[in-house]
């Protein structure tokens, strides 16, 4: 491969990323509990040679289901079903370090990596909502610093479990009655402030060594975590300059941790409305915006702002001061609040206009244009130090992915920026990431 290649994931949200997608005739909210719906989406992504599909997740009902369809299927099981319907496509699930136990989560992802032949990725999140906390016996969620401290221990413990069996631990010597070499299967004896895990793990090392570690936190703590652990980073930026600054910062942080910055892939979100003409694309975006329920968007915005906004009128300009960092915001809302404040300051929208902007993809970048224009902006960000690829967030499913793969992907392929065939079989192969060696390999055996 002569030229640096883009990575492209399809970020799946049941009816689509636009909050009103479920009301549009092009979406299929009637199928969101139907596994064949997701298997078809997976096959569409694989036919276009995308790197992976990706699901967000949280252990609570966070969507106001009065006015929007919430995801209902658990991502790891769902990706296992997609694995069974595909052969090359990467499979990335979000899971929480705050509300899981490392041994249980290590097993689920190990199993997904074995079952899929090396296609699993774990999007590591710390889950900062009181709604989730209340489902796990807590009155409030642990604070940002505590969550990240636990997350560091959690990832260390889980990766150690995945390393627990060396790659050549299984002997399979039927004649001698020796199944495995106990000297190559290690206890991990992990002891941190929050977690204590002895091991050994109860499964062999996976095809990828271990699943790809993905991360999405944008706070200082999150960036530092990303620089240390993440092999791929999902991020939200509205503007090229912001994306460039983030890109440079993360690559620098990776270097600080002694890592090769090439082994850290940065993938901003983009939610494309695609039309034959730019006017068609914008008309389509308007069609979706007109289906939004203001009550729904307003409640979402209030949760970002951490305060009531009922005093604002829908068709009047939003005062800049409303989003100047005030309000009782939770840590994880801060970066989204900054995005909102930036839009209000720069573009001076009405409240309705602001709600429409946010309806697109929850703060991710919405772009309406022709296939050429979408390919142009992808190429611009890719060539100018803002992205190693993209998390594509179709505003509606399944059609929004189909139009992207059938119109934008061929242009990127013609430009030599995106593969026309898979050149490997694992997610690490697609992302260009090395297969890690077990930390226990070639060391003297530990006590079992």
44 labeled part of a ligand binding site: no
247 neighbors 266 (Cβ within 8 angstroms): yes
* Shortest reach from residue 49's CB to its own copies, in Å: 22
Segment (H or E) for 9: strand 7-11
Which 3 state secondary structure label does DSSP give 171? Answer: strand
* Shortest distance, position 32 Cβ to its own copies, whole Å: 9
CA nearest 148: which of 97, 205, 84?
Answer: 97
| 194 marked as binding residue | no
Compute the distance between CA of residue 423 and CA of residue 329 in angstroms, rounded to an integer: 45
Pick the closer one to its own copies by CB: 139 or 421.
Answer: 139
Q: How far is the CB of 196 from its own copies (least distance, A)?
A: 4
In the bound state with its own copies, the residue whose beta carbon lies nearer, of 30 and 260, is 30
Cβ at position 232, least distance to its own copies in Å: 22
Q: How far is the CB of 193 from its own copies (least distance, A)?
A: 11
Q: What's the rounded Cα separation, in Å, for the pair 386 and 156?
A: 29
For its own copies, give the closer residue by CB, 146 or 376. Answer: 146
Please list, residue by residue across 12-34, b when 16 or more beta carbons sit within 10 angstroms of its beta carbon and e when fewer do.
Answer: bbbbbbbbbbbbbebbbbebbee
Sign of CA dihedral 205, 206, 208, 211: negative
Task: CB nearer to its own copies: give 135 or 350.
Answer: 135
Residue (of 383, 394, 445) closest to 417 by Cα position: 383
As a whole number of angstroms, the distance between CA 273 and CA 26 comes to 13
Classified as helix, coil or strand, 263 is helix
* 57 annotated among ligand-binding-site residues: yes
Give the annotated binding-site residues for FMN. Answer: 57, 94, 144, 148, 219
Q: What are the binding residues?
A: 57, 94, 144, 148, 219
């Amino acid at each position: 491969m002569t030229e640096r290649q883009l990575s492209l994931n399809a970020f799946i949200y049941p009816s689509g990323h636009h909050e009103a997608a479920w009301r549009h005739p092009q979406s299929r909210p009637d199928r969101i509990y139907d596994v064949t719906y997701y298997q078809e989406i997976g096959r569409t992504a694989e036919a276009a040679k995308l790197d992976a599909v990706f699901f967000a997740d949280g252990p609570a009902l966070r969507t106001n289901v009065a006015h929007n369809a919430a995801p209902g299927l658990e991502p790891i099981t769902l990706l296992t079903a997609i694995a069974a319907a595909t052969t090359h496509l990467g499979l990335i699930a979000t899971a929480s370090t705050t509300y899981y136990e490392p041994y249980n989560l290590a097993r689920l992802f190990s199993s997904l990596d074995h079952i899929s032949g090396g296609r699993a990725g774990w999007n590591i999140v710390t889950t900062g909502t009181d709604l989730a906390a209340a489902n796990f016996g807590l009155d409030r969620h642990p604070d940002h610093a505590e969550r990240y401290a636990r997350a560091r221990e959690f990832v260390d413990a889980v990766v150690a479990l995945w390393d627990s069996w060396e790659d050549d631990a299984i002997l399979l010597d039927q004649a001698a009655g020796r199944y495995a070499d106990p000297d190559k299967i290690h206890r991990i004896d992990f002891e941190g402030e929050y977690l204590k895990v002895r091991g050994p793990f109860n499964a062999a090392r996976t095809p990828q060594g271990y699943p790809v570690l993905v991360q999405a936190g944008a706070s200082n703590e999150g960036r530092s975590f990303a620089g240390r652990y993440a092999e791929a980073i999902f991020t939200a930026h509205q503007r090229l300059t912001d994306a460039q600054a983030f890109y440079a910062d993360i690559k620098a942080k990776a270097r600080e941790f002694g890592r090769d910055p090439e082994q850290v892939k940065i993938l901003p979100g983009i939610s494309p409305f695609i039309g034959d003409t730019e006017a068609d694309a914008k008309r389509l975006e308007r069609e979706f915006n007109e289906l939004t329920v203001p009550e729904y968007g307003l409640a979402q915005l209030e949760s970002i702002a951490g305060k009531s906004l009922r005093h604002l009128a829908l068709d009047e300009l939003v005062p800049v001061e409303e989003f100047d960092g005030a309000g009782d915001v939770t840590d994880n809302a801060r970066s989204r609040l900054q995005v909102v404040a930036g839009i209000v300051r720069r573009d001076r929208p009405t409240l309705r206009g602001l709600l429409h902007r946010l309806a697109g993809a929850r703060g991710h970048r919405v772009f309406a244009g022709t296939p050429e224009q979408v390919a142009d902006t992808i190429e611009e960000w890719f060539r100018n130090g803002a992205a190693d690829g993209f998390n594509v967030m179709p505003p509606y499913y399944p059609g929004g992915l189909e139009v992207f793969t059938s119109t934008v992907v061929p242009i990127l392929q013609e430009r030599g920026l995106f593969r026309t065939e898979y050149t490997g079989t694992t997610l690490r192969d697609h992302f260009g990431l090395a297969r890690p060696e077990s930390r226990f390999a070639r060391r003297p055996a530990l006590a079992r």
